[in-house]
Amino acid sequence: MNSRERIKAIIAGKPADRCGFWLGNPHAETWPLLHKYFGTTTEEELRRKLRDDFRWITPQYFPGVYQAPDGRRIFDSGLDRTKHRSVGPFAECEDVGEVEAFPWPKPEFLHFDACLERLRNAGDVYRASGFWTCFYHNVMDLFGMESYMIKMYTHPEVVHAVTDHVCEFYYAANERFFAAAGASVDGFFFGNDFGTQLDLICGPQQFDEFIMPWFRKFTEQAHNHGYQVILHSCGAIHKVINRLIDAKVDCLHPLQARAAAMDAETLAAEFKGRIAFMGGIDTQELLVHGTPEEIKQDVRRVKRLLAPRLIVSPSHEALLPNVPPANVEALAEAAEAWTRRAAARKSARSGSIKRARSASRTASSTEVAYTTVSPSPAAAANS
């Protein structure tokens, strides 16, 4: 079973030879440290060395994907990217007419050639793609966080209008991209961080009104093109996981381990068997401060709880340079160790079955009473 087959099976809830592994998307400052430690020179070389099953190849962040005549990037109009907590162009908006007059991005300015080439040459790995479709964040930027939350109550029609324009662009962009990419894509991977460390950013009622209608359209769109749906959503999103499952999300990422009610025990108790999991290995404390052996122990713990529908991965995909490369190595090795143990169990069971069949044929041919052959002690201990 190759990586592509493995991840497809895990997400679909079908048998796989082992759990999956994704290194994540390390921060730019982390790559040189990893290359020095592992003796590699390219991202793909390192991923192959770590037996990484998963590639995130989104058109949204390829240079030249959006070529507007005025040089604007997608959703950059009126935004101040130089500082956090900036107010957006709709912070004071009370009139839907202002929303309609805004210079919204146009799908006809999109170009996918570079991304499509990367997808077609990805090899036998799982290809997660589609526009990142981070509509929640885009809308939040266009208002400013506080204004966005307040206007959900004071001017819901304005929030709906802005949301519609943002999502209409993404829907059209994905439709064009999916039509061009076809079977080169395996899963639609998109990201909206709905939670903080402790709870949702907005309340469940507002979530249902302003988020879920378009969210469902995006998951349905991907399924209509034959793709699995993987959602990235950081934070404490426990309150809405049932909604996400009902909206046909197939796999949830990144399982922020230290966020409220996002620990592996809780997720396993309430959602195991209904959705696949990707992530769960804590990057806030464990991967930063733990020893390699502690990393391996935690990977084994998470696998016991969440496997078989599990892709082992950090609980925040952008691995920072404060994570020691030795701990990254331990993370990958623990995922691979599952493979070796699974292979040993399979081999032992296969040998027991063959011995049983041989004994059965011998008993039949000599008219000796049939005796069941028990597994070897090693096989029994590993079963």
CA 211, 217, 222, 228 torsion-angle sign: positive
The whole-number pLDDT of residue 86 equals 75
d(CA 285, CA 271): 25
CB-based burial label for 376 (10 Å; 0-12, 13-18, 19+): middle
- Would 256 be classed as within a structural domain? yes
- Residue 378: pLDDT band (50, 70, 90) is very low
d(CA 298, CA 90): 45
How far lies 243's CA from each of 83, 134, 141, 208, in Å?
34, 18, 24, 9
359 part of a folded domain? no
pLDDT band at 376 (very low <50, low <70, confident <90, very high): very low
Enumerate the β-bridge partners of residue 251: 230, 276
**pLDDT at site 357:** 52
Residue 258 pLDDT > 50, yes or no?
Answer: yes
| Residue 369, domain member (yes or no) | no
Measured in whole angstroms, the distance separating CA 137 from the mean position of its chain's CA atoms is 17
Identify the three-state secondary structure at position 285. Answer: coil
Domain of residue 48 covers 3-346
CATH number of the domain that residue 85 is part of = 3.20.20.210
Q: Is residue 358 part of a domain?
A: no
Strands across the sheet with 187-191, in order? 20-21, 310-314, 276-281, 251-253, 228-232, 187-191, 126-129, 54-56
Characterise 235 by phi-psi region: left (phi > 0), alpha (psi -120 to 50), beta (else): left
Structure tokens at 259: 């966020």
User: Does any domain span residue 248?
Assistant: yes
Residue 347 has pLDDT above 80, yes or no: no
Task: Indicate the number of domains in the chain.
Answer: 1
- Give the tens place of pLDDT for each residue, 135-165: 999 999 999 999 999 999 999 999 999 999 9
**pLDDT tens-place string over residues 203-212:** 999 999 999 9
Residue 184 within any structural domain of the chain: yes
- Give yes or no for a contact between 267 and 226, defined as CB atoms under 8 angstroms apart: no
State the average pLDDT over residues 373-381. Answer: 33
Write the pLDDT tens digit of every residue in 93-152: 999 999 999 999 999 999 999 999 999 999 999 999 999 999 999 999 999 999 999 999
Is 116 contained in some domain?
yes
What value, to the nearest 5°, has the Cα angle with vertex 275 and ends 336 and 277? 35
Pair of tokens at residue 243: 């909604």
| Pairwise pLDDT comparison (336 vs 366), residue with the higher score | 336
In a domain, 243, yes or no: yes
For 50-83, the pLDDT digits (tens) are 999 999 999 999 999 999 999 888 987 666 666 5
CB 243 within 8 A of CB 192: no
Binned at pLDDT 50, 70 and 90, residue 374 comes out as very low
